[in-house]
Amino acid sequence: MKGFGNGAGGVRVLLHNKGIVEEDDLDRRWEEATGERVDELIFLSKHTAVSNRPALTVHPIGVPHLRPGDAAPQGGRPGWAAPPSPRIGPWLRHLKKLAQAHNLVPEFEITLEGTHHGPITNTPTMFLEIGSTDEYWKRQDAAQVIALLVWEGLGLGGGAAVGNWNGEKDKNRVLLGIGGGHYAPRHMDIVLKDGVWVGHLLSGYSLPMEDPSQSKAETNTKEIGGTWREAIKAGFEATQSAFPGGEILAHLDHKSFKSWQKNAITGFLGEQNIKIGKPNDFY
């Protein structure tokens, strides 16, 4: 791969020819090739959406809802979730400020996405994407905003970096999003508040649940099939590993669940000792 470095700052930019979701174990491969420790991975990517709406997006990665042996059409390993970068929340807020300052808003939507796709990593990871069509992928003003986000977010210009995690801070509660659509609007309402940290965001499609309408299984989570339990557990454990010293709170998009789904999920969270947070608990 062709690469660029910023001297003593320890930041590398790599250019590659493969599909980005195919670059499995980039952190391990880099360490083996160079001896340099990889502390975090930031993938700069194109985003596609059926709506074709211009957007700048931020999201964690993983496919924790897939079963072993399932095909992973966009990379990753079934049942796996990468540690989410602690910068996701702070960078989303900074991205919105930069986009507004460069007059990209309201033309461009600034948004989170739910956890999805590969590549496999074991290092705190996030994706930054420009969407959603060829017309917008080529927009230099959008690319400049993403470049500024990385430059300022990592403190490369001499200023303080944005989003360095310190679990001893007073505000150490981390949002684990459960439910809702791919762009997580109800989780977004919380994340846009200053001081909110973000872990995995498990959209409704990442929580497959088999309808128990033929039985009375409203509170018996063991009778509700699907991989929703495995997805929640993988997302929680990966988030916990990325935020040492943090308190992980599940935030449920209640309106996206039927009553039997909500009962099952809250019951499982209780069994796993995962606390549920209300909006005011995060700030």
Of 123-132, 135-144, 166-175, least confident by mean pLDDT is 166-175
Q: What pLDDT digit, counting tens, does each position of 246-279 carry?
A: 999 999 999 999 999 999 999 999 999 999 999 9
Q: Domain-by-domain residue ranges, the chain?
A: 16-30+38-210+225-281
Mean pLDDT, range 211-239, rounded to an integer: 80
CATH 3.30.420.280 fits domain 16-30+38-210+225-281: no
Mention every residue, 6+ apart, whose C-beta is less than 8 A from residue 229.
221, 268
Say what the alpha-carbon torsion angle 76, 267, 174, 146 is, to the nearest 10 degrees.
Answer: 40
Whether the predicted pLDDT of 58 surpasses 80: yes
pTM of the model: 0.94
